Amino acid sequence: MQIGGITIEKTAALAPMASVADAAYRIMCKRFGAAYSVSEMISSKGLVYGDKKTAKLCLLLTEEYPCALQIFGEEPEFMGKAADMLKEYSPLIIDINMGCPVPKIVSNGSGSALMKDPVRAAEIVAATVENAPCPVTVKIRAGWDKESINAVEFASLMEKAGAAAITVHPRTRQQMYSGHSDWEIIRQVKNAVSVPVIGNGDVKTPMDCKAMYEQTGCDLVMIGRGSYGRPWVFEQVRRYLLDGEVVPEPEPLQKAEIMLEHAQLLCKLKGEEQGIKEMRKNVAWYVKGLPDAARIRGNTDKLFTLDDLKRVADTIS
In this structure, the number of other CB atoms found within 10 A of the CB of residue 68 comes to 26
- Tell me the torsion sign for CA atoms 82, 87, 89, 92: positive
Query: Beta strand pairing status for 67-72 and 93-98?
Result: parallel
Instruction: Say if residue 227 is exposed, middle or buried (CB neighbours under 10 Å; 0-12, 13-18, 19+).
Output: buried
Distance CA 175, CA 115 (A): 14
Q: Are 123 and 142 in contact (CB under 8 A)?
A: no
Kindly report the number of other CB atoms within 10 A of residue 80's CB atom: 22
Query: 60 with 39: CB under 8 angstroms?
Result: yes
**Residues with a known catalytic role:** 100
**Residues 58 and 47 sit within 8 Å (Cβ to Cβ):** yes
E-only strand ranges, the chain: 2-3, 6-7, 12-14, 37-43, 67-72, 93-98, 136-143, 165-172, 197-200, 220-223
